[in-house]
């Protein structure tokens, strides 16, 4: 009867490099795969608790509350984990563009024999997303 208490209730962060696991964000309505980022346990727990996607920024070395600068937040409707409990899938309601390049999805380029081909229309000018940051 206590079996559910012994189940893994969260991802197995010990399986990740430096305690980080990949987290995929998918648009719950369009089903478009938006991006992949990384989560540590703290990011996962904050996401679970707040319902807003929070990742761990490897480059900045700290929690990254998606959209805190751009306003392009992700409301998390569902969190799934895979069979090995080492990958996270978020079903989200995306505000604005998920990609800092201004595209709906970060996966806006297709690999072809002739090189990379853009497969989406840009939604917003990336310069308008981060007005305080320098483009150099």
Among 12, 14, 48, 133, binds a second copy (CB under 8 A): 48
At 81, is the secondary structure helix, strand, or coil?
A: strand
Of the candidates 1, 2, 31, 131, which one interacts with a second copy according to CB under 8 A? 31
**Exposed, middle or buried, 75 (CB in 10 Å: 0-12/13-18/19+)?**
middle
Of 72, 71, 63, 12, which is closest to residue 37 (Cα–Cα)?
63
Q: Segment contacting a second copy (CB under 8 A): 63-71, 74-82, 128-136?
A: 74-82
Q: In the range 75-94, which residues lie near a second copy by CB under 8 A?
A: 78-84, 87, 89
Q: Give 30: exposed, middle or buried? Use CB within 10 Å, 0-12, 13-18, 19+.
A: exposed
**10, 68, 93, 127: which one contacts a second copy (CB under 8 A)?**
10
Residues that bind a second copy (CB under 8 A): 4-5, 7-10, 17, 22, 24, 26, 31-33, 35-36, 48, 78-84, 87, 89, 99-101, 103, 106-111, 114-116, 119
């Amino acid at each position: 009867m206590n079996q559910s208490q012994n189940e893994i209730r969260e991802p197995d962060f010990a399986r990740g490099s430096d305690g980080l696991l990949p987290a995929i964000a998918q648009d719950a309505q369009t089903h478009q795969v938006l991006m992949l980022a990384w989560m540590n346990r703290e990011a996962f727990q904050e996401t679970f608790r707040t319902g807003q996607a929070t990742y761990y920024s490897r480059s900045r070395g700290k929690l990254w509350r998606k959209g805190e600068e751009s306003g392009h937040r992700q409301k998390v409707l569902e969190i799934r984990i895979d069979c090995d409990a080492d990958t996270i899938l978020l079903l989200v309601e995306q505000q604005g563009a998920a990609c800092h390049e201004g595209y709906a999805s970060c996966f806006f380029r297709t690999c072809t024999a002739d090189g990379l081909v853009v497969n989406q229309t840009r939604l917003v000018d990336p310069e308008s997303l981060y007005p305080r940051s320098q483009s150099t």
